[in-house]
Each structure stands twice: as structure tokens, then as C-alpha cells.
């Protein structure tokens, strides 16, 4: 795996949350620009007024980027949380039979989640004395 790919997987929770947060901020800027009552309020706040003047005619493209970043970030963040919860549910077993039944799914989840999840699978294998 490339170094960028491993960085992406090792910091999946942080990156997905950050992308989602950037999408929320961009949507906030879009709402300020397009909702007239909010824009009237924003023009009384100097930093927001400077932001709107700085973006100027590019606000249309900012709005399009905001929608895509929010959708991508939201999907990726929810997917990351869902996979983390599923892994926790599967790894919590004390039954060797259930571990073997769900082993393939746990290993697949451990591949796309940070490296500490793969270590937990190995630790659970040792705990339950599972041989290959």
C-alpha cells in the first residue's frame, strides 16, 4: 500500500470527520450568501462581510463544492462510524465458534479501518487459541 493510502486508512476517523466539518462550514457560507435575511445579518459582522466580498461571484461554485463536500464527507463519516461499530460488535464475542464464523468479516473491516483494529483481531485470535 502506498504511504498516502496507509495514511488515509490510519487516520480514517479524523479525515472523514474533518471533511464533513469542512462541508458544514461551506454550507454555512452558502446559506449566508443565498438567504437574504441571513445575509443582512452577516453584513453587520465584519469577518462575514469580508468573506462574502472575497468570494464575490464565485459563490455559485462554492455552493456546488459545498454540496459535494458535505455529501461525500457525511457519507464517509457515517460509513466509518458504521464499520467501527460493526467491528466492535463482532470482536466482542467470547465464543470461538462465533469468532470463526465472523472472522472473514472482521478481517475485511480491519483492512479498511486503522491498523489497531488488525492488531485487535490478532489479539483475539491468540486469546481464543485459533490456529490457521
C-alpha cell at 27: 454550507
Question: Is 90 exceeded by the pLDDT of residue 2?
Answer: no
Determine the Cα–Cα distance for residues 85 and 88; give it in Å rounded to an integer: 5
Determine the Cα–Cα distance for residues 48 and 41; give it in Å rounded to an integer: 9
pLDDT at residue 132 in the model: 72
Reported as a single tens digit per residue, the pLDDT across 5-23 is 678 888 889 999 999 999 9
Taking residues 97-117, report their average pLDDT.
92
Task: Please give the model's pTM, rounded to 2 decimal places.
Answer: 0.79
- Check: CB of residue 80 under 8 Å from CB of residue 15: no
- Check: CB of residue 112 under 8 Å from CB of residue 61: no
Question: Is 80 exceeded by the pLDDT of residue 1?
Answer: no
pLDDT at residue 4 in the model: 65
- Check: CB of residue 52 under 8 Å from CB of residue 32: yes
Determine the Cα–Cα distance for residues 87 and 13; give it in Å rounded to an integer: 14
Amino acid at each position: 500500500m502506498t504511504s498516502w493510502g496507509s495514511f488515509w486508512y490510519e487516520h480514517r476517523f479524523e479525515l472523514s470527520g474533518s471533511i464533513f466539518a469542512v462541508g458544514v462550514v461551506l454550507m454555512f457560507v452558502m446559506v449566508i450568501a443565498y438567504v437574504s435575511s441571513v445575509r443582512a445579518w452577516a453584513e453587520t459582522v465584519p469577518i462575514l462581510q469580508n468573506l462574502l466580498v472575497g468570494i464575490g461571484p464565485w459563490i455559485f461554485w462554492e455552493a456546488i463544492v459545498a454540496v459535494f463536500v458535505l455529501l461525500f464527507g457525511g457519507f464517509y463519516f457515517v460509513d466509518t462510524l458504521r464499520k467501527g461499530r460493526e467491528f466492535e460488535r463482532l470482536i466482542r464475542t467470547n465464543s470461538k465458534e462465533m469468532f470463526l464464523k465472523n472472522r472473514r468479516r472482521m478481517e475485511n473491516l480491519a483492512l479498511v479501518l486503522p491498523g489497531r483494529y488488525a492488531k485487535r483481531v490478532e489479539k483475539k485470535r491468540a486469546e481464543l487459541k485459533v490456529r490457521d
